[in-house]
Structure 1
């Protein structure tokens, strides 16, 4: 097994989107709609404008792990004078490749992308499986996070 790491390209999108949908379902989401067109439109647009970046782990020509970082900007505040925030998503490793350090390497790569972009913070809504990865990396819980869903 010779794992290599590279950035996501538009050519990878069909497989990347399938892995994203598998991840969401593994985390408990019900596939009530065809999410593929929305994901495709999002990734094409945000890859093109630089507000989404992803690193992939590949074994030969097989994508075995994904990561994603979306960049947003809020008005600057004292703990984040740029207002730029990285929203981490799409951290997913195929079952046979888990617990081998691949997720940690992908996380390191996308967090570095956020730093280079000028983000003052990176946020994630962690799955139960991911909590240990993120806390080991240095993420801290923020008890002020709230969400309103339509």
Structure 2
């Protein structure tokens, strides 16, 4: 096996990236009742172009074996985040045959560095059961007040 290398996501990678995102959502138990491909393609193209979405890929040769993603949003500043700039992690996925090799940690470190450069004061994620250990080891703490209302 080749050693894993890392590079940024480009628009040319989007078809594979989107399929890996859908696989990730299914693994996490999401109900597959709508074709997300058009909406994901639109989102990633717009936000890659305006710099409010960044992603790193892990590759074994030419094969993408891991993905990461961070969306940058801005909220009114608050004491825990005086800049108001927040990184939202998504699309953290590693091919099952490549797991437990540090790839997810490497990818997470890269998008966290991007968040620092962007000026984020906080990073948030809704972690899968599988990811909680990784995020806790990297210093993330639970916020038990997170709630969501679906419109």
1:34 is matched with 35
**Aligned counterparts of 2:24 and 2:122: Cα–Cα separation in 1:** 24
* Residue in structure 2 matched with residue 113 of structure 1 by the alignment: 114
1:6 aligns with 7
**What's the TM-score, normalizing by structure 1?**
0.98
Extract unaligned runs of 5+ from structure 1. Answer: none
Q: Name 1:146's counterpart in structure 2.
A: 147
What residue ranges of structure 2 are gaps of 5+ in the alignment? none
CA RMSD of aligned residues (A): 0.6
Q: What is the rounded CA distance, in whole Å, between the counterparts of 1:18 and 1:102 in structure 2? A: 19
Q: TM-score if structure 2 supplies the norm length?
A: 0.98
* C-alpha separation in 2, matches of 1:22 and 1:106: 18
Residues 38-77 of structure 1 correspond to what in structure 2 (within 5 A)? 38-77=39-78
Deviation at 1:145, TM superposition (A): 1.1
Distance 1:148 1:53 in 2: 26
Deviation per CA, 1:20-48, whole angstroms, max 9, x where unpaired?
00000011012111110000000000000
Question: What are the Cα deviations for residues 58-117 of structure 1, in whole angstroms up to 9, with x where unaligned?
Answer: 000000000000000001112211100000000000010000000000000001100110
Structure 1 moving runs of 4+ over 3 Å: none
CA distance in 2, matches of 1:76, 1:4: 37
